[in-house]
Structure 1
Amino acid sequence: MPTETLAQRLRLAGLLGVGLLIALTLLNLMQAAAGLRKDNERSLHHAEAMIDGAIDDSQTLLDAASPLIGRACKENTLALRDLIIASPYARALYVLEGNRLLCTTLHRPLQEQNLPHYLFGKQDLILASHSPITGQTAILYRKQVGGRTLLAELDGFHIFGALRAVKGEENLFFILGDKALDGYGRTQSAAPLLADRGNLIVNLSDEHPYRLVALNGYRQILAFAWDYNRDTLLVTPVLALLLGLLTFHLSGRGGSPRRELARALAAREFVPYLQPVMDSDGQLRGCEVLMRWRHPEQGMIAPNQFIPLAEECGYIVPMTRQLMEQTLEHLRTVADRLPPNFHVAVNVCAQHFKSQEIVSECRAFLDALPGQDIRLVLELTEREMLECDEQTLAIFDALDRLGVLVAIDDFGTGHSSLSYLQKFHVDIIKIDRSFIMGIQEEGPSRLIVENILDLARRMEVALVAEGVETRDQVEMVRRYGIDYQQGFFFAKPLPPGDFSRHFLPHP
């Protein structure tokens, strides 16, 4: 595609960046809203259980105190105080007759002018802003016994403490009548809280006349998102910026991926890298030629990023031909320093066997190195199934007459490995690195390797262990009698010049 104008690139980059920012922010807020609702519902149930437990204890306390209130205050004060001491929630008991306070478990007397009005009301459950004991919030539970009234005072901490214990935030409220209590012991009018029911989660107690309310509005959702998704929210603008920059950069590059491959092929940007293949004694016996893309702007590109597209586009055949030509150019300069029976392995796929050109190219490669003891190896990959027809079999026969060896790459990982052994003449099996990694331990990998060894010996096929990375793996492969080894323990793929400097004798 043609390069976009600067204004178009900026517009596209901005739209995509802002779009991603909005989309990710909305997604985070939606996740936060769902998470907050779930947390609120769980918190309300937990708080209800804790508060019901405190009120139920007050009921039990009043039931136990009921038989005592018929006596004179002096006679039952000690017994009532014993009941208070045994209760984990109640702070005081009051005994009233009409509008008179007859008896209390408090150790100090209450003056008549200091008696709170709610002591003489009719509610069974009372939310009081000022306790006669502490002057702070209190909950009282009332029980009528004949002509007298019993009241148990709970410390308000057990109520607002329940709101904070399960949540720790300022969005849960205990509502009784027209008053609301928050998690810090502050009371306020319940009306403003209940006005916006769309942003509330309300839980009605099944046992007592109170409600628990959780705020679930935009402010709470934003706070929840910041508390629990802070890292994601902070990363979102960075990702949006990176997307915008990447879009701006890519939109300025000309050509589709296919056209870019064609351009790189014409510019000879696909270059060979060589990885050594060693024998069981650690001596150099060959190399595998691996393709790299030396991109003028992006630097060196690994094959897994372009080989599948090259096979799909049909460019893999000319790319391989170009790779063999460049490898040949280098080998001509170092041919006299190569060890005897030096193997040069090149990766090929099913597309290479659709015409006789592969035979001509292999013949040209070997003819260009007359008198040299070099064996050319074609490594079959399995991204595309090789058809067993007359033409393919004829190509295999022609390659065999030329002395070209055939190897199965990454043996054991593809669907057609055993099929290739059955249908075609194969000289070498390359055991995939995934099996070599597990060869040191008892398990499936070792069993698979042992079975491949048995198969190779029966079929008189050479073996190469791929992905050898540690000394222990080297020793294990050697112990199994595998012919050749290849992997990062010896060297990673190197440019041809570096390969020769490291592994060939100096001239």
Structure 2
Amino acid sequence: MLLSNKARRRLLVRLLFSLVMAMLPLTVGGAIVYWQTLASLQREARHAASEAERLVDVMLANAVGAARTTIAYSAGDCLSAEPILRQQVAIVPFVRSLNLTRDERIFCTSLYGPFDRPVDVPSYSEGRLLLMAGNEVTPTTSLLVNRMVDGRFGVLATIDGRYVTSVLQLVDLRSELQLQVGGRWLDEEGNVHLGPPEALPLGHASVPSDRFPFSVIGGFKAGEQWRYMREDSWPLLLGLSLLGVLSGISSYWLWGRAGTPTRELERALHAGEFVPYLQPLVDGASGRWVGAEVLMRWKHRSEGLVSPDLFIPMAERCGLIVPMTRSLLNQLALGLGPHAGLLGQGFHLGVNISAEHCRGNSLINDCADFLGAFAPGSLSLMLELTEREMIEASEGIRDLFEQLRALGVTLAIDDFGTGQSRLTYLGEFQVDALKIDKIFVASIGTDSLMRHILDSIVELSAKLDLLVIAEGIETPAQRDYLLGHGVECLQGYLFAKPMPLADFIAGLRAGRCEQAGEAPFGKGDA
């Protein structure tokens, strides 16, 4: 019954994860589409408001032109001015009527001829522009009145509001546009309202005129974004939905497969298939072995040697990297401990550690157990910090490294120069060595830029009094260049390939730690 419950829980988690993965493309993609729709509505509203403002400017410019032509007649009588007023109304676009004023009273109009009515100057925005709901001739049609004054005389040029509403309606059929003049505003239906304009919650854009005291406001009603998403983005949303279905199905299928590699790693760990390979570090001048980097290899029961690039990331994700590293240290202690007398003075072993191993006291205990298998001072353990999992600086981490240093353990930054985090390590932790990545070594004689970076790393190490270890040496020219720049600790196929522990011990017996010897040369990854 217990196993059945566990199986049901795993199935439930698997289904929930697959559902999340199915919803993820639509959720993330939908959020992006939603944001793009809002941005598009904002651009559309501003463009429409700008275009409407430009067209209303044109209408008012026509009114100003008619007013300039007729303002001189304000000093005369109405009978003489009336024909000119009517002529201007007939020939000037958008102008519905012209009214002459004297001493702020209308005395002549193009509609009635002689007339007498005061001008309500305070109602005009900046004394120049008035938005009216209507007049005696057209009480239900809005008007836009432009006022021009020259001393005692003036002209009121009236534009039919239907022209303005046509502009608001036709400039952009999708957005909402409003014309605001002072404390009044006109909607697309031609209705004049008092007070501030109605709020447009989506894509609100206000475009003021540079020539006249009015603004055009554009935007969309609440909820319009959903309609436009359905109209404009439905192919993309459909594609995201299909992608989500495929993602959910793939996640469900891959989850079922994901248990197999994890169980295979667990099986291989218990079977002792993860074994240490060691690649010697040599003194470049003498060829003497001064240390070695410990590399993990998987001797699979049927596939043979498996590349660490394939199983190390998986081991880190499933939480097996710590017991795998511990197993590696145990094998080294058991296999190399009895032969510690063959190691030369200052011999050190470099072992990669993960961020997971730095949590708690397990790393301290593992290092202490490992060093306990060797005579004091016969071996130095160097922990190499990698970038696969970042080790974040904290008080706990610094305290851990201090305790390790008290044990005689040193720290090195692996593949230095290939990531910003390596510089972070250099600033946060007290390290003892830098390992130059093989991409910089490979640039010797071929890439001047990379070679300059290599030289800078060497110079930086010298200033910080750090041991420099160069990886990936494959040619005598690379060796000679590094020796000439003061890098004496070298590693690469020019000297030796990574080898099983037994072969490494055989090399120790052959006196490789005491004198130079011929080393195999080959191509491949170190």
Instruction: Normalising by structure 2, report the TM-score.
Output: 0.51
Going from structure 1 to structure 2, the CA distance change for 1:178 and 1:233 (only over 3 Å counts) comes to: same
Going from structure 1 to structure 2, the CA distance change for 1:417 and 1:123 (only over 3 Å counts) comes to: same
Going from structure 1 to structure 2, the CA distance change for 1:3 and 1:290 (only over 3 Å counts) comes to: farther
- After TM superposition, list the pairs within 5 Å mapping 1:257-272 onto structure 2: 263-272=267-276
1:319 counterpart = 2:328: yes
Alignment equivalent of 2:293, drawn from 288, 301, 308: 288
User: How far does residue 451 in structure 1 lie from its aligned partner after superposition?
Assistant: 1.5
Going from structure 1 to structure 2, the CA distance change for 1:268 and 1:228 (only over 3 Å counts) comes to: same
Residue number in structure 2 paired with 1:409 = 412
- Conservation of the 8 A alpha-carbon contact between 1:435 and 1:446: no
Going from structure 1 to structure 2, the CA distance change for 1:304 and 1:480 (only over 3 Å counts) comes to: farther
Identical residues among aligned pairs (%): 16
Aligned residues: 386
User: How far does residue 58 in structure 1 lie from its aligned partner after superposition?
Assistant: 1.6
Alignment equivalent of 1:351, drawn from 362, 365, 385: 365
Going from structure 1 to structure 2, the CA distance change for 1:155 and 1:485 (only over 3 Å counts) comes to: farther
1:451 counterpart = 2:463: yes
- Conservation of the 8 A alpha-carbon contact between 2:440 and 2:453: no
Q: 1-side partners of 2:495 and 2:174: how far apart?
A: 63
* Cα distance per residue 1:104-139 (max 9 Å; x no partner): xxxxxxxxxxxxxxxx8457768xxxxxxxxxxxxx
User: How far does residue 291 in structure 1 lie from its aligned partner after superposition?
Assistant: 1.2
Q: 1-side partners of 2:156 and 2:411: how far apart?
A: 101
Going from structure 1 to structure 2, the CA distance change for 1:4 and 1:271 (only over 3 Å counts) comes to: farther
- Conservation of the 8 A alpha-carbon contact between 1:293 and 1:301: yes
- After TM superposition, list the pairs within 5 Å mapping 1:279-428 onto structure 2: 279-280=283-284, 285=289, 287-293=292-298, 300-302=307-309, 303=312, 306=315, 309=319, 316-322=325-331, 345=349, 347=351, 350-355=364-369, 358-360=371-373, 378-381=381-384, 384-385=400-401, 387=403, 392=407, 408-410=411-413, 413=425, 417=430
- Conservation of the 8 A alpha-carbon contact between 2:52 and 2:167: yes
Gapped regions of structure 1 (runs ≥ 5): 85-90, 101-119, 127-140, 164-169, 182-196, 332-339, 364-374, 397-405, 422-428, 457-461
User: How far does residue 61 in structure 1 lie from its aligned partner after superposition?
Assistant: 2.0
Q: 1-side partners of 2:479 and 2:349: how far apart?
A: 21
Q: 2-side partners of 1:416 and 1:74: how far apart?
A: 89
Secondary structure of 1:288's aligned partner: strand
Q: 1-side partners of 2:313 and 2:288: how far apart?
A: 27
Going from structure 1 to structure 2, the CA distance change for 1:347 and 1:386 (only over 3 Å counts) comes to: farther
Instruction: Normalising by structure 1, report the TM-score.
Output: 0.52
Going from structure 1 to structure 2, the CA distance change for 1:221 and 1:270 (only over 3 Å counts) comes to: same
* Cα distance per residue 1:213-252 (max 9 Å; x no partner): 4252423234566688898666544433332223222356
User: How far does residue 55 in structure 1 lie from its aligned partner after superposition?
Assistant: 0.9
- What letter corresponds to residue 63 of structure 1 in structure 2? V
Residue number in structure 2 paired with 1:56 = 57
User: How far does residue 480 in structure 1 lie from its aligned partner after superposition?
Assistant: 1.6
Q: 2-side partners of 1:53 and 1:65: how far apart?
A: 19
Going from structure 1 to structure 2, the CA distance change for 1:293 and 1:470 (only over 3 Å counts) comes to: same
Q: 2-side partners of 1:301 and 1:51: how far apart?
A: 66
Going from structure 1 to structure 2, the CA distance change for 1:262 and 1:75 (only over 3 Å counts) comes to: closer
Q: 2-side partners of 1:381 and 1:360: how far apart?
A: 20
Going from structure 1 to structure 2, the CA distance change for 1:274 and 1:253 (only over 3 Å counts) comes to: closer
Gapped regions of structure 2 (runs ≥ 5): 71-80, 99-109, 114-136, 148-153, 180-185, 191-198, 353-362, 386-390, 392-399, 415-422, 442-449, 507-517
Q: 2-side partners of 1:50 and 1:143: how far apart?
A: 20
Secondary structure of 1:481's aligned partner: coil
User: How far does residue 267 in structure 1 lie from its aligned partner after superposition?
Assistant: 0.6
Residue number in structure 2 paired with 1:40 = 41
Q: 1-side partners of 2:495 and 2:169: how far apart?
A: 69
Q: 2-side partners of 1:307 and 1:147: how far apart?
A: 82
- Conservation of the 8 A alpha-carbon contact between 1:92 and 1:152: no
Alignment equivalent of 2:486, drawn from 478, 481, 484: 481
